[in-house]
Amino acid sequence: MYVELRGINKKFGSFKASDDISFSIDKGKLVGLLGPSGSGKTTILRMIAGLEPPDSGDVIVDGVRVNDAPPGERGVGFVFQNYALFRYMTVFDNIAFGLNVQKRDKKHIKERVQELIELTGLSGMEKRRPHQLSGGQKQRVAFARALAPNPRLLLLDEPFAAIDAKVRKELRAWLKNTISKVGITSVFVTHDQDEAIEVADEIIIINNGRIEQKGSPSEIYKSPTTPFAARFIGQSFAVSNYDALRGFEKDDNFPEAILRPEFITVSKLNALLYPNSTQDGVVENVFFRGNLSELRVDVAGVKISAYRSLEDDEIYVGEKVGALIYQLFLVNDREVKLIRNSLLRDENSVFI
């Protein structure tokens, strides 16, 4: 347990930003705080860094309670959402700032900065100012600057939010690799679940200042433990009259079901896989999504979404199709229950 938060509460006026937050992070792990905007994830990060004091609770780093330590003494590197590079300093001076404050000798500073410039692939940019850099380059400078004084812990606030989509994908992989190469315990904040799932070793889902679920990306994805987590992860959509779907019965404890497109297979009527468990539906809309198409299908009055590979025969709007639903999550205010299609269970088939 390298970083630990115990019973953290934080209010801004009457707004509860953190509501009894407790979690711990193992040394060397890359953890993602995932939640919608306004959920309080950045506040958690800022409290770990010491930029915001918690109203109550303890922040513990490496076994020492750091609540009263000023930000500069916590050994924390921080990458801001908009990078907050020192705009009147060159790339070199930005990265060297922390070392200069520590009054390290010039030779050491030069070596360390050079090392980081190579690590982040910024060679040749030492003399540039922040406004002469692209978004991706700024992020690398911010990253190098945060790492320069050898912090114990690296915190990143929405590290990819200000970067365009294509570069973002590359940077994600780069950041994950680089962090594992450096071996530093890291926490990053994101509202983008793809990002969290792809980059993090462990995800903590935050909503309304509370922790909803903590687990590995695949745990979070496959078995959400709270209704919020079930709704938030994946392309989830909610259905209230789920008993109209073939193979599912009404459970009075659960007023709603959460489905994801990947729980559903839509086939042309002449190519059904399991005719007994499949239900007729009418295609209402087809959306081209680049690498696949998304279908909106009306099944017995229930609107569902499903994906279809572009290699399969094209399905048209208004066409009658067969829909097979493998599973869904039943949710109420507190619980989540995974229910498999009862007809499929009877047939003893293999499903995801």
Nearer to another protein among residue 63 and residue 70 (C-beta): 70
Report the alpha-carbon distance of residue 139 to residue 86 in Å, rounded: 13
Helix (H, G, I), strand (E, B) or coil at 128: coil
Nearer to another protein among residue 77 and residue 217 (C-beta): 77
Nearer to another protein among residue 97 and residue 232 (C-beta): 97
Nearer to another protein among residue 76 and residue 211 (C-beta): 76
Query: C-beta of 110: minimal distance to another protein in Å?
Result: 17
Distances (CA, A) of 138 to 7, 79, 119, 220, 227: 35, 11, 14, 31, 38
Report the alpha-carbon distance of residue 20 to residue 9 in Å, rounded: 5
Report the alpha-carbon distance of residue 93 to residue 82 in Å, rounded: 18
Classify strands 30-34 and 185-190 as parallel, antiparallel or unpaired.
parallel
Query: C-beta of 182: minimal distance to another protein in Å?
Result: 18
Query: C-beta of 84: minimal distance to another protein in Å?
Result: 4
Distances (CA, A) of 330 to 183, 255, 256, 258, 334: 40, 8, 6, 6, 11
Report the alpha-carbon distance of residue 11 to residue 18 in Å, rounded: 7
Query: C-beta of 92: minimal distance to another protein in Å?
Result: 14
Identify whether the C-beta of residue 24 lies closer than 8 Å to the C-beta of residue 5.
Answer: yes
Nearer to another protein among residue 132 and residue 216 (C-beta): 132
Query: C-beta of 61: minimal distance to another protein in Å?
Result: 14
Nearer to another protein among residue 149 and residue 209 (C-beta): 149
Nearer to another protein among residue 83 and residue 274 (C-beta): 83
Query: C-beta of 338: minimal distance to another protein in Å?
Result: 43
Report the alpha-carbon distance of residue 82 to residue 138 in Å, rounded: 9
Distances (CA, A) of 223 to 199, 217, 328, 350: 19, 10, 11, 18
Nearer to another protein among residue 107 and residue 131 (C-beta): 131
Distances (CA, A) of 303 to 133, 244, 257, 293, 340: 47, 11, 12, 16, 19
Identify whether the C-beta of residue 77 lies closer than 8 Å to the C-beta of residue 29.
Answer: no
Query: C-beta of 97: minimal distance to another protein in Å?
Result: 6
Binding site for another protein (CB under 8 A): 49-51, 70-73, 76-78, 80, 82, 84-89, 97-98, 101-102, 129, 131-132, 145, 149
Query: C-beta of 30: minimal distance to another protein in Å?
Result: 20
Report the alpha-carbon distance of residue 247 to residue 257 in Å, rounded: 13
